[in-house]
Amino acid sequence: MDIFERAMHLSDNGDESTGKFDTIDNREYKYRTLAIINTIINEVYPYSDTCVIEPGKRPVHEFLTSMDEEINLDNYCIEVLALGLAAKLFTDENGTIANYYQQEYERRLAELKRGGIPSGAEAIEDVYSGGYYDEDGVYHYNTGYYPHSEFAWWA
């Protein structure tokens, strides 16, 4: 399901008999979709698992030139983008529903910004410590000879 279909599905704008979203009634929405996606995609792209960050360059998704192009976003970011698209598409049609989608879009975008960037953990070597703990939890000071003081110690 592409982003346009997701936005239409959210608003229940599909053909009830066929279940398709690319209908005559939705033609105006489809016409505006590409421009809207190109406007808001870079709000979401930096938080996608598929984002490639190059040193010295800001992360920017390539502009889409057709509705058939693949959007390089992970599934969660596609859902967020669909909410933003629905909000923009229905601003003139139904302000209440457009406001709901806009609030949900902004809430999920803020969630992505707070901690949505995938990260991992790894051990960090403590190079500044004055000592270490052994297996029994006993702390041992690192001592060694320092030419200017007989009491100095370092890691």
pLDDT band, residue 55 (cuts 50/70/90): confident
Does pLDDT of 146 surpass 50?
no
Q: 3-state secondary structure string, 78-137?
A: HHHHHHHHHHHHCCCCCHHHHHHHHHHHHHHHHHHHHHCCCCCCCCCCCCCCCEEECCCC
Amino acid type, 57: K
Position 24 scores a pLDDT of 62
Q: What tens digit of pLDDT does each residue of 73-90 get?
A: 888 999 999 999 889 988
pLDDT at residue 126 in the model: 62
Q: Where are the domains of the chain?
A: 3-115
Predicted pLDDT at 83: 93
> pLDDT at residue 120 above 70?
no
pLDDT tens for 96-108 read 888 999 999 999 9
* pTM > 0.85: yes or no: no
pLDDT average, residue stretch 34-55: 88
- Tell me what the pLDDT averaged over the chain comes to: 76
Phi, psi of 113 (to 5 degrees): -65, -35
pLDDT of residue 121: 72
